[in-house]
């Protein structure tokens, strides 16, 4: 009994260990594949977004598609004057997708040009034109204003209409 046991314990004893190891490997590999598959399907949007960013950066310098897209939208330029406490003109209308280029000259006083919805926030040095460019990527009526003190309430504001 002891001999048989030892034989049984020795010879097949290696095989179960090997088998066990193989089974473990298979479980790890299969499990890994499953997990990666689940991650892929689950994070598809994330992956796309992550891939899209570098792809765009690579594509932009040499691509014709992006220039075609740019050709569809226009750059709309406006010359504005501002001071205490006004913007002239105080209404700007563009089309959705337009690139809006504002040249704002501060005639006097400390003023800022702000459009919250487009992350525009620029200090306007006195006496020289300041260029502000952003893409009108959403439809709506937005306010541009000066963020210094009470200037906005005192009338230093205007309307941006995007159709």
Contact residues for Cu ion, defined by CB under 5 A: 111, 146, 148, 151, 156
Helix spans in 73-135 (H):
none
Specify the pairing of strand 91-94 against strand 140-145. Answer: unpaired
State the Cα–Cα distance between residues 147 and 154, nearest whole angstrom: 11
CB of 151 to Cu ion, least distance (A): 3
Q: Which is nearer to Cu ion, 135 or 147 (CB)?
A: 147
Least distance (Å) between residue 77 CB and Cu ion: 23
According to DSSP, the β-strands at 91-94 and 157-162 are parallel
Nearer to Cu ion, 102 or 151 (CB): 151
Give yes or no for a contact between 101 and 133, defined as CB atoms under 8 angstroms apart.
Answer: yes
* Minimum distance from residue 110 beta carbon to Cu ion (Å): 7
Of 142 and 156, CB closest to Cu ion: 156
Least distance in angstroms from the C-beta of 87 to Cu ion:
9
- Indicate the residue among 115 and 162 with the shorter CB distance to Cu ion: 115
H helices of 43-163, in order, are: 44-59, 64-72
């Amino acid at each position: 009994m002891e001999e048989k046991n030892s034989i049984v314990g020795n010879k097949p004893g290696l095989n179960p260990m090997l088998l066990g190891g193989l089974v473990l490997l298979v479980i790890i590999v299969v499990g890994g594949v499953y997990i990666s598959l689940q991650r892929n399907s689950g994070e598809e949007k994330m992956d796309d977004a992550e891939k899209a960013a570098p792809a765009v950066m690579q594509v932009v310098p040499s691509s014709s598609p992006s220039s075609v897209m740019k050709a569809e939208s226009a750059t709309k330029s406006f010359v504005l004057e501002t001071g205490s406490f006004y913007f002239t003109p105080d209404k700007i209308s563009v089309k959705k997708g337009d690139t809006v280029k504002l040249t704002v000259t501060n005639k006097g006083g400390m003023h800022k040009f702000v459009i919250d919805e487009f992350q525009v926030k620029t200090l306007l040095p006195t006496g020289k034109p300041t260029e502000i460019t952003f893409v009108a990527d959403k439809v709506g009526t937005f306010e541009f204003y000066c963020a210094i003190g009470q200037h906005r309430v005192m009338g230093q504001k205007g309307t941006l209409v995007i159709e």
